[in-house]
Amino acid sequence: MKNKPIYITFLLGLIICLLLFILNLSIGSVHIPFPDIASRITGKPFLKASWETILMEFRLPKAITAILAGINLSISGLQMQTFFRNPLAGPYVLGISSGAGLGVAIMVMASTAFGWVIYFGQLGVWSIIISASLGAILVLLLISFTAWRVRDSMTLLIVGLMFGSAVSAIVAVLSYFSGAEQLKLFTVWSMGSLGISSYTQLLGLLIASLLGLLPALFLLKSYNAMLLGEAYAESMGINIKRLRWGIILSTGILAGSTTAICGPIAFIGIAVPHMARLIFKSGDHRILLPGSAIAGAIIMLFCDAISQLPGSAQTLPINAVTSLIGAPMVIWLILRRNFSKEF
Amino acid sequence: MKALFSNKQSIFFLLFLALLSCQHAEQKTDLDYKLLELDYAEGFKVYQGIGFKVLEVLQAFPGKHQPFRYLVMEQQGEIPKGKFDAIIQLPVKKVILTSTTQIPHLEYLGESSTLIGFPNLDLISSEKVRKMIHLGKVKDLGKGAQTNVEMVIDLAPDWIMISTLGEDLRNLDLFQKSGIPAPLNGEYLEGHPLGRAEWIKFTGALLGRWEEAHQAFEAIKNAYEEAEALAKKNDQTHKPKIMSGVMYKDIWYVPGADSWGAKLIQAAGGDYGFKDHPGTGSIQLSYEYVFEKAQDADFWIGAADHNSLEEMGKADPRYTYFQAFQKGQVYTYTKKKGIKGGVEYFELGYLRPDLILKDLIKIMYPDILPDYTPYFYSRLNEK
């Protein structure tokens, strides 16, 4: 009885997600009428050949990327909030995205210094995913060690900010000495973008997402216990060590691979889990995890739709849109209610 | 005809005029200079005095600023009165340049041996200068994004030529304090390709090689105008459609319609696909838009530094959907490199727009210049 509304909410979420997905396919700089899109979905060819390319090779992978990025960032944010028992934790805030950025910066810009040839091509996708994930996991480890030593959420945030700054400084030094072309590549990357160049890249992101989700799914039950503290979780017979490593791996791969492909995307990781808590009015991770996933996908699709500036030749960087939407949302959440209630 | 004024009145009037003109002359600092006409450049002016020249840089970096004035003393003599940002006494023996585009100026003026410092020597492709580097005569000022002021002061050049976006102007004060003239070069802001080339006269004046600079520019100008006339004479009822630029992630960077590159394409008789997008720099467009606009372009001119179609297709499969790509009509200007990998186009291109123009004409209308081999541009996968 009690669970019924939840199913309805999920169903609604899925329907909204699907609608936004189709909307995303139909808007962009080039106007493709909605009826044409609809008839294309039913298998009729387009009137113009260029539309086919734009839809299949550009908009479709972009929309799928938006969904994946939304899911990954939200779930890594949710895990971090649970793990650190801190409502303000998130991959962007705690410098995980910067860590991934450092990994990419070293790949892209140090290639000037070491004479490596790297491009965001078919083969480049794994090297960039792995280097970003490693960077993310490195920062996560540092932060985790701090978190286990200092059991204070404020300190943790400050330390996270410091790590973020330190990493940005290293990136700045790298930028200062790198060639114009590399610099441009990295700068454009850091603005965030969901435009993915090929299905190979998309497949890379998809595989990485599944890899990152696995530990989270296995540890689902333990998360609920974690909210009441590690000591409590241990008394429930949960292997804390395994849980820690599981969370670090999962968060690192999810945030790292997404950052690698899309660039740093702000606020999704921190804001979406709170939205899910609000919508589902539950602290149970068995509900929150899929809930955050759907909410994340919806928000990302929505932000992407805005960033397309339908009908104009220009687009906005996705990071600007997520920040403009996400930052007020977090502030509103903080003001709205006793934020730390569940932590 | 009745006189308008009585004698007395007219004397007063004349006196008044004389006073006015005195005042005027005082404002102009009692200098007697004459403006030397330039053909295309709008960013600087040159005045000739007796035994000296005054260079006025009106546009040294984007945005509004007071003109910068440099006095070049061509003989030993009294320094004329007036406010100058720097005073340069010829002869000049040691100079520092900061942009590769200024390197060919020295070569064309026969003054390569004056170069004693440059940031990031690897960028230079000129063979003459490379020889000097090899002999250790040119000091590397480092690869950083900002000028290494200490090294410059230590080298004590007769002047250092600076190209700036306006971000490091405080270095000018430092150079001024240490007595190093630092003329600003604003060639990259010139709208007309020949305007950029004419800045060789600026360098010429600073080196005491005005005549040589004048001759060098005349030759370039004549070659350019000749080529342009050829392209105009040609039947241009069907202009080939030209696309340009590359993608970074999913943002396409193309030269704006008023940019140097786009102007050269139009001068060569090409129909530039993005002519509705004004801008002197590069503009950002979405992939979709570019695809819709330029999918059927005949030529793709200026595709970053890709080495082959295969590599381009690997770097971003979405390049392969363009007709120009499918027909193998993709051209880059980055093939010609110095020994250390400096791209010659970025060095010589500003000074020799005539070569770029001919290259483009050759690509679009091969029959007009039958015996010409492109200098900068090469076709990807050209067997």
* SS3 at position B313: helix
- Statement: residue A119 has pLDDT above 60: no
Q: Does A195 sit within 8 Å of B251, measured CB to CB? A: yes
Average pLDDT over residues B196-221: 97
Distance of CA B374 to the CA centre of its chain: 21
CATH T-level fold of B31-219:
Rossmann fold (3.40.50)
Residue A340 lies in a domain: no
Q: What is the mean pLDDT of chain A?
A: 83
Considering the domain boundaries, does residue A1 fall inside one? Answer: no
Judge whether B144 is closer than 8 Å to chain A, CB to CB: yes
| pLDDT confidence of residue A310 | 76
pLDDT at A283 over 90: no
pLDDT the model gives residue B56: 96
- The phi and psi torsions of B142 (rounded to 5 degrees) equal 95, 165
Per-residue confidence (pLDDT) for residue B303, from 0 to 100: 81
Instruction: Give the residue, A122 or A315, on which the prediction is more confident.
Output: A315
Q: Is pLDDT at B40 greater than 70 in this prediction?
A: yes
Tens of pLDDT along B183-194?
999 999 998 999
Question: Measured between beta carbons, which residues in chain B are less than 8 angstroms from residue A196?
Answer: 250
Asked if residues A158 and A164 have their Cβ atoms less than 8 Å apart, the reply is no
Residues A204, A129: contact at Cβ < 8 Å? yes
From CA B110, how far away is CA B101, in angstroms rounded?
Answer: 16
Q: What is the pLDDT of residue B25?
A: 41
**pLDDT value of residue A173:** 84
Q: Within 10 Å of residue A203's Cβ, how many Cβ atoms?
A: 12
Chain A residues near residue B289 by CB distance under 8 angstroms: 29-30, 313
Whether A64 is covered by a domain: the verdict is yes
Identity (one letter) of the amino acid at A334?
Answer: I
How far is the C-alpha of B361 from the C-alpha of B259, rounded, in Å? 18
- CB proximity B310 to A under 8 Å: no
Q: How many A×B Cβ pairs under 8 Å?
A: 88
**CB distance from B143 to chain A under 8 Å?**
yes
- Owner of token pair 């004397």: B11
The tokens describing B332, both together, are 């880059």
Nearest to B243 by CA among B285, B181, B279, B182: B285
Write the pLDDT tens digit of every residue in B162-187: 988 877 777 888 888 889 999 999 99
Which pLDDT band, with edges at 50, 70 and 90, does A298 fall under?
Answer: very high
| Residue B116 in this model has a pLDDT that exceeds 90 | yes
Q: Find the domain containing A112 and state its range.
A: 6-335
Q: How confident is the model at residue B203 (pLDDT cuts 50, 70, 90)?
A: very high
Q: Is residue A25 part of a domain?
A: yes
Fold that domain B238-379 belongs to in CATH: Rossmann fold (3.40.50)
Tell me what the pLDDT averaged over chain B comes to. Answer: 87
Q: With 0.75 as the threshold, say if the pTM is over it.
A: yes
Give the closest-approach CA distance of B311 to chain A in angstroms.
Answer: 9
- pLDDT at position A315: 81
Instruction: Return the SS3 of A158.
Output: helix
**For B19-44, what is the mean pLDDT?**
69
How far, in Å, CA of B19 to CA of A230, rounded?
94
Is the Cβ–Cβ distance between A91 and A251 less than 8 Å?
yes
B110 or B336: which leads in pLDDT: B110
Checking if the pLDDT of B23 tops 50, the result is no
Alpha helix ranges (H) inside chain A: 4-26, 34-41, 49-53, 60-83, 96-114, 124-149, 153-177, 180-190, 199-218, 220-226, 230-235, 240-262, 268-280, 285-307, 318-336
Q: Cβ of A181 and B249 within 8 Å?
A: no
Q: Whose structure tokens read 């492709």? A: B125
B362 to chain A, any CB pair closer than 8 A? The answer is no
CATH number for the domain spanning A276: value is: 1.10.3470.10
Task: With a cut of 50, say whether residue B306 has pLDDT above it.
Answer: yes
Contact across the interface for A30 and B314, Cβ inside 8 Å:
no
The answer to whether B120 contacts chain A (CB < 8 Å) is no
Q: Is residue A284 part of a domain?
A: yes
**A341 in a domain, yes or no?**
no
Domain count, chain A: 1
B238-379 and B31-219 share a CATH fold: yes
What region does B73 belong to: left with phi over 0, alpha with psi -120 to 50, or beta? beta
What are A175-211's pLDDT values in tens digits?
A: 777 766 677 777 777 788 887 767 888 888 999 999 9
Q: Is residue A340 very low, low, confident or very high in pLDDT (cuts 50, 70, 90)?
A: low
Q: Please give the pLDDT value at position B10.
A: 57
pLDDT digits (tens, 9 = 90+) for A14-43: 999 999 998 888 888 888 887 888 888 888
Show me where the domains of chain B are located.
31-219, 238-379
pLDDT value at residue A337: 62
Residues of B in contact with A193 (CB under 8 A): 249-251
Q: Is residue A124 pLDDT above 70, yes or no? A: no
Would residue A197 count as lying in a domain?
Answer: yes
pLDDT at B26 over 80: no
Strand B34-36 to B44-48 pairing: antiparallel
Q: pLDDT tens digit string along B149-162? A: 888 888 999 999 99
DSSP state of B379: E
Whole-number Å distance between alpha carbons of A296 and A306: 15
